[in-house]
Structures are given as C-alpha cells and as structure tokens.
Structure 1
Amino acid sequence: MEQVTLLLFITIPFLALVAAVPLAWGWGVSWLDLGLMTAMYFIGCHGITIGFHRYFTHSSFKAKRPLRIALAVAGSLAVEGPVVRWVADHRRHHKFSDAEGDPHSPWRYGETVPALMKGLWWAHMAWMFDREKTPQHKYAPDLIKDPVIRRISRQFVLWTAVSLLIPPVIGGLVTWSWQGALTAFFWGSLVRVALLHHVTWSINSICHAVGKRPFKSRDRSGNVWWLAVLSCGESWHNLHHADPTSARHGVQRGQIDSSARLIRWFELAGWAYDVRWPQAKRLEAKRVRPGDADPA
C-alpha cells in the first residue's frame, strides 16, 4: 500500500503534464515554445541548485561578485520565493532534517499509509502555507548583511514579473503575433514554472520518502535517479545530506549532476574558487557498511 500510494503521488501529476504536449502539438505549442520553456527552465533550475542551494545555503564554493549577483537573480527567476527566505528555510531543514523542527519532512505525521499521504502533501507544498515562518535573521544573517543580495531578495515580485514576461516578449517578437506571445507565455512561463516547482518540491517530499541510501545520514534522504536530469543533480539527495557542503551531489559512476558540471566550468573560468569537491577518503568514511543501523 505504501508503494502504491507513492506511485500515485509521483506519477499522476507528471502524466497529466506529459499528456498535454501531444494534445497541444500542432495548434497550441511550437518548437519556439518548447525552446523557451527548456531554456528558462534550466536557467531557473540552476539558479536554485547552484545559487540558492549549493552556494548561498551551504557555501560549497566562493564566487566573485558578478557571479554572486547573477546566481541570486537566476534563482529568483525560478519563482520559488526570495533568496533570503529560501536559504533560511533550507538551513533550518538541514538543522532538523526529518525530525521535529524540520519545516517540510514527509514523516511529520507518522509512518502509516494515511500519515505518509498527508506527510507527502505537507512536504511537497502545504508547508509553504503554514503560519510558522523561519526567522531569517537567525538562519540567514550573512545574506541580510549583504545590501545587494538583500535588495534582490526584496525585489522578488519584480524578478517574478521579469521571469514570466521574457517568454511572451520573445515569442511575440519572433512570430510577430499575439498568438505567438500567448503560446510562449503558456509554455515558457506557466508550464515551465509549474514543472520546476513540482520538481523542486519533489526533492523535499519524494527524496525523503524513497530512494537508495548508500551514504550515512541522520535522516531518510535517498537518491532518486529518474529525477536527476530535471532536478539538475539535486535528486542525489542522500550524499547531499551525508555531506551538505559538497559541491557535487552525484558522486558515483553514471550519476548526472549538471550543477556540479557548471560549477566546474565557473571554477575553470576563474569566477568560482575554493570549491569543496568530494574527497575519496571522506566519501569512503561516509559509505554505509553491512551491519550499519538504518536511520529509518
């Protein structure tokens, strides 16, 4: 029953989205629309994974000022909330991961099937509507002290508008039509933001409920391979919770991590430095051995 519950929770929303593509093809979507959706998706996704998450939250590397600002803006284009709030919530999540105090653990209500269903819903999106807010001055004082990052965070509504307007403006100019602008807005703005939101939220819900756990962590974080590409490497979540400051999450053979690849390119270009790449000895020490107790 638990597996059926998880399967339904995971597949139904994605099947609905996938079904919309062939239904709309030929009259409601074009290659331009898909191109804009893909480009804006991965700009925002990497803004979250590299910027908000690995850089601002965990200091996995240091960035020169222009890159620091660019990452704050790119993450804001994902429309997942102001950078200071996002970072504060995530730092709190790591402090209390899957325990009391975690803002979005799927195990909040217990381990029965009804409790897990309720917990998955909570971890996926319901927690964002909770009245209890993470104190930003406590969890993100470093970002608040930076006037530029603080300003970008306060300008979240502006960056949301920019994010939603870029696709229809480009679509309208390329096709020189209102229809081109409208379909670009639907796919490049609305569908793109919805898909990115659900993929990001799935890291909070799905990756803390299922997945392989090859490394020791004090929570239930797991690796979910089929989310790796869409999450830009974030779904290798077990290693991340075992070693939160690591700049690479997909450390085993075949584990795609586009965020780590981009950080490497930033390092080669001289824009990023003091990158905390995973070390073989450290990984080996964190690897689960036969007989080790399961944190679950």
Structure 2
Amino acid sequence: MDNELGEFLRSRRAALEPAQVGLPDDGRLRRVPGLRREELAQLAHVSVDYIVRLEQGRTRRVSRPVLDALADALRLAADEREYLFTVADVAPAPARRPSLPDVAPQLRQLLDRMYDVPAMVLHRGMAVLAWNQGAAGLLTDFGALPLEHRNLIRLTFLDERVRALYDDWPRAARECVAVLRMEAGRTPHDPAITSLVGELSVRDADFRTWWATHQVRGPRQLTKTYNHPTAGRLTLDVQQFTVDTHPEQLLVAYTAEPGSPSYDALRFLLQVSGESVHG
C-alpha cells in the first residue's frame, strides 16, 4: 500500500528550518535537514509516536483538528493544506456542540449589578463568556474581539495591550499555562482547548517552554498587579467562584483593599469606564 501521507509529511518536515517556526537552536547536530519529529509533535500538540506512525504509514485516519494542527505547524500553503487533506483518511467529525455555553440571565444580571467590582464569567480554559463594564475597562473591550479571541490565556500571550498590563508578565503567563494544562487533562478531547494549545505552541516560544514543564493549577484566590494606562498601578485580589447551576463556569471578581492606593485607582477606573461607584 502506498504511503503518500507519510512521505508528504516527511518531505514538508525536512523542508522547514526550526528558526522558521521560532524554535531555538539547541546546539545538537542534526543528522537530517529540517524539523525533528519531536519538534513537529510539540508544535502540533500530538505525541512523537503518533508522528512516527503517520510517517511510517501505520495509521492513515486523522481527525480534522489534528490535520489542521499539522498543517499550521508545517506552515503549509493553501494548496499544500488541501493536498494533505486529500491524501489523509479524514476521520468523521463528532457531532458539533456549541463552542461556548450560555450564561444564565440571573448571572448576567448579577454582573451588571456589581457596579464597583470588575467581574466576568469564564468557561474552560479561561474563555470569557460574559463581563461587566468594569472588567472591560480593566482588561480589554471583549465585545470588540472576535468570539474565538475572547480568552484570557490567549490574550495574555498574543495581545500586546493585555500583555503590557501585567506588572509581572512571566508570572501571570506561567499561571495561565498551568491552568490550561489542568483543563487539557480534564477535557483532552475539547476542540477549543486543543486548538488554543496548538496555536500558542506555534506562536509563542515561552508558552512552548512552560507547557513542557507540565505544571498544573486549579482555580484559587490570588493577587495580581497591573500597570493600567488610565488608572496607573493597581494591585487587585482575584477571586474565583464556581457557579452551582453550571459547574464548568466561574465567576471571577477583582477587588482592592479598602483605603489602599489601588482602591482609589480602581474607583477612578470604574468612573472613567462609566460605572456608578458606591461607597
């Protein structure tokens, strides 16, 4: 039986230099040109053994998300991507479900009534489902973003304005990676999580490094310091509450210690954002 898929993958891997996908030179002698199998596996968020089986023709059936991840990792042109799907035995897609769930009207009402507290509702992998005006003023105008970009982890790595907010970006980013690793373990077949990990692996070298450490973390109370372009420096407590009626959703609230400079700065930010601040 011919192995057109495996031969095509090997040829495209050999034609791609590590520097073209942002991988550093590790100093190891390369016996063959191009990416190593483990590098392609890392970029496409699949196992090295799976790459080996594909290239050796021991498996031909591939899901569409994995093919898309391989095509992205190999930087395939449009015609090459089309050819990849042609020679692969594409596994049928599972029944589609809404990519993001609805937020209960009562929870949206609660967000809107939290006049003096920036707050939002998050789904798995820190996808932003709903927010109030304070959260938009603190972080970004989520309503102006495409639906698929409304994710705090993606914004932390790929949005320069959000990235610049963090006083200690490496710490905040590593925490994001640990949360995402936890979610990927809980829901390994979630296409949104898989897609996010694949995109960040390809586009950010720091993410690739920290993802490889396998650090995990669930929701907890923490403190973050922001350097806001309007309100200045704010140190805020970030508190996360589970939603009993929707266990996969979190209500996240940002508060400051009363009487502190951050409390005054937050009040000012909410006023500028159009909120009525009480107290």
Compare CA radii of gyration and give the structure with the larger one.
Answer: 2
Query: TM-score, with normalisation over the residues of structure 2?
Result: 0.23
- More helix by proportion, 1 or 2? 1
TM-score by length of 1: 0.22
Higher RCO, 1 vs 2 (CA within 8 Å, ≥6 residues apart): 1
Structure having the larger proportion of residues in strand: 2
